[in-house]
Amino acid sequence: MAKRTVRDFDVAGKRALVRVDFNVPLKDGRVDDDTRIRSSLPTIMYLREQGCRVILMSHLGRPKDASDPALVLDPVAMRLGQLLEAPVRKLSELMGPGVEAAVASMKPGDVVLLENSRFDPREKKNDPTLVYELARFGDIYVNDAFSAAHRAHATTAGLATVLPAMAGFQMAREVAALEALVADPKRPFVVVLGGSKVSDKIRVIDRFLDLADRLLIGGAMSLAFLKAQGLSVGASKVEEEGLPYAKEAMKKAVQSKCALVLPTDIVAADGLVEDAAAWVVGADAIPEGWMGLDIGPATAKRYAGIIATAGEVFWNGPMGVFELAPFAEGTKVVAEAMAACPGVTVVGGGDSVAAVNRFGLASRMDHVSLGGGASLAYIEGADLPGVATLPDREEA
Binding test (CB under 6 A) with ligand ADP, winner from 191, 205, 321, 361 = 321
Q: Is 316 in the site for ligand ADP (CB under 6 A)?
A: yes
CB neighbour class for 392 (10 Å; exposed up to 12, middle 13-18, buried from 19): exposed
- CB closer to ligand ADP out of 142 and 177: 177
Q: Is 23 in the site for ligand ADP (CB under 6 A)?
A: no
Binding track, positions 292-331, relative to Mg ion; x by CB under 5 A: ----------------------------------------
Strands 111-113 and 165-167 come out as unpaired
- Whether the CB-CB separation of 20 and 156 falls below 8 Å is answered with no
The CA dihedral of 166, 167, 168, 173, to the nearest 10 degrees, is -160
- Min. distance of Cβ 351 from Mg ion in angstroms? 4
- CB closer to Mg ion out of 128 and 350: 350
Binding track, positions 230-249, relative to ligand ADP; x by CB under 6 A: -------x------------
36 catalytic per annotation: yes
Interface with ligand ADP: number of residues (CB under 6 A): 20
Active-site residue, selected from the candidate residues 19, 151, 197, 201: 197
- CB closer to ligand ADP out of 46 and 327: 327
197 catalytic per annotation: yes
- Whether the CB-CB separation of 351 and 195 falls below 8 Å is answered with yes
| Nearby residues of 290 by Cβ (< 8 Å), 6 or more positions away | 234, 235, 236, 268, 269, 270, 279, 281
Q: CB under 5 to 8 A by kind: which of Mg ion, ligand ADP, none does 310 bind?
A: none
- CB closer to ligand ADP out of 99 and 377: 377
Q: Is 351 in the site for ligand ADP (CB under 6 A)?
A: yes
Interface with Mg ion: number of residues (CB under 5 A): 2
Q: Given phi > 0 = left and psi -120 to 50 = alpha, else beta, which region is 96?
A: left
- CB closer to ligand ADP out of 185 and 317: 317
Q: Which of 142, 182, 175, 158 is closest to 50 using CA atoms?
A: 142
| Nearby residues of 101 by Cβ (< 8 Å), 6 or more positions away | none
Q: Is 350 in the site for Mg ion (CB under 5 A)?
A: yes
Query: How many angstroms separate the CA atoms of 258 and 338, rounded?
Result: 20
Give the count of alpha carbons within 13 A of 198, CB side only.
Answer: 24
41 φ, ψ (degrees, to nearest 5): -60, -45
- CB closer to Mg ion out of 244 and 350: 350
Q: Is 371 in the site for ligand ADP (CB under 6 A)?
A: no
Q: Is 373 in the site for Mg ion (CB under 5 A)?
A: no
Sign of CA dihedral 67, 69, 71, 76: positive
CA angle 390, 151, 12 (to 5 degrees): 35
Binding test (CB under 6 A) with ligand ADP, winner from 156, 196, 375, 389 = 196
Q: Is 220 in the site for ligand ADP (CB under 6 A)?
A: yes
Binding test (CB under 5 A) with Mg ion, winner from 34, 265, 329, 351 = 351
> Which residues in the 179-218 window bind Mg ion by CB under 5 A?
none
96 catalytic per annotation: no
Strands 53-57 and 15-19 come out as parallel
How far is the CA of 247 from the CAs of 150, 285, 323, in angstroms? 28, 20, 29
Q: Known catalytic residues?
A: 36, 197, 350, 373
Query: Which residues contribute to the site for Mg ion (CB under 5 A)?
Result: 350-351
Query: Which residues contribute to the site for ligand ADP (CB under 6 A)?
Result: 194-196, 200, 219-220, 223, 237, 292-293, 316-318, 320-321, 323, 349-352
